[in-house]
């Protein structure tokens, strides 16, 4: 085993987790704060910023987490689907990913498009508020699997 490559993979994995968890937490925080102002321009800016931050931080965080984690597993001779905590980690990562792809990303795109329009008029439609409530609710639910994975990574039950 190449110790430098292994350490690089561990570094990539931890950096990915930080980027992923940090960005999904802080973007939700700032978006909720912007929504609370009920100011159309601030809300539109926050929605645009969430999408940009997802491309700059969340997506690279996901890639680094996966590449690092799978690389560590392969180098450490830990069969991904034979070690219980690794199998469950993969399962929960897929659950979180499905929640994002099926619900959160479409909601986010719809909110961003709506915000672009209402930034000009100042009239925020009820449909935006409905989507915003669903986005934060499902977003919180989608964070739970990531917390479970963090527990599994640290305690390796």
pLDDT at position 51, please? 97
Q: Does 1 score more than 90 pLDDT?
A: no
Residue 5 exposed, middle or buried by CB count within 10 Å (0-12, 13-18, 19+): exposed
Predicted TM-score (pTM) of this structure: 0.93
Asked if 22 contacts 88 with a C-beta cutoff of 8 angstroms, the reply is no
pLDDT digits (tens, 9 = 90+) for 107-119: 999 999 999 999 9
Q: What percent of the chain has pLDDT over 90?
A: 94
Q: What percent of the chain has pLDDT over 70?
A: 100
Q: In angstroms, rounded to a whole number, what is the distance separating the alpha carbons of residues 103 and 37?
A: 25
Q: Does 129 score more than 90 pLDDT?
A: yes
Asked if 85 contacts 157 with a C-beta cutoff of 8 angstroms, the reply is yes
pLDDT at position 96, please? 98
pLDDT at position 78, please? 84
Mean of the per-residue pLDDT values of the chain: 96
What are the residue boundaries of the structural domains of the chain, listed by start?
3-155
pLDDT digits (tens, 9 = 90+) for 35-88: 999 999 999 999 999 999 999 999 999 999 999 999 999 998 788 888 999 999
């Amino acid at each position: 085993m190449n110790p430098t490559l292994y350490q690089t993979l561990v570094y990539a994995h931890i950096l990915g987790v930080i980027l992923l968890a940090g960005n999904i937490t802080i973007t939700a925080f700032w978006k909720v704060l912007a929504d609370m102002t009920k100011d159309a321009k601030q809300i539109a800016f926050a929605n645009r910023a969430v999408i940009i931050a997802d491309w700059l931080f969340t997506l690279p965080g996901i890639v680094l987490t996966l590449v690092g984690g799978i690389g560590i597993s392969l180098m450490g001779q830990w069969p991904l689907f034979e070690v219980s905590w690794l199998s469950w980690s993969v399962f929960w990562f897929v659950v979180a990913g499905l929640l994002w792809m099926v619900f959160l990303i479409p909601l986010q795109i719809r909110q961003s498009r709506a915000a672009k329009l209402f930034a000009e008029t100042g009239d925020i439609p009820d449909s935006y508020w409905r989507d915003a409530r669903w986005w934060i609710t499902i977003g919180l639910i989608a964070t739970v699997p990531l917390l479970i994975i963090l527990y599994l990574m640290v305690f390796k039950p």
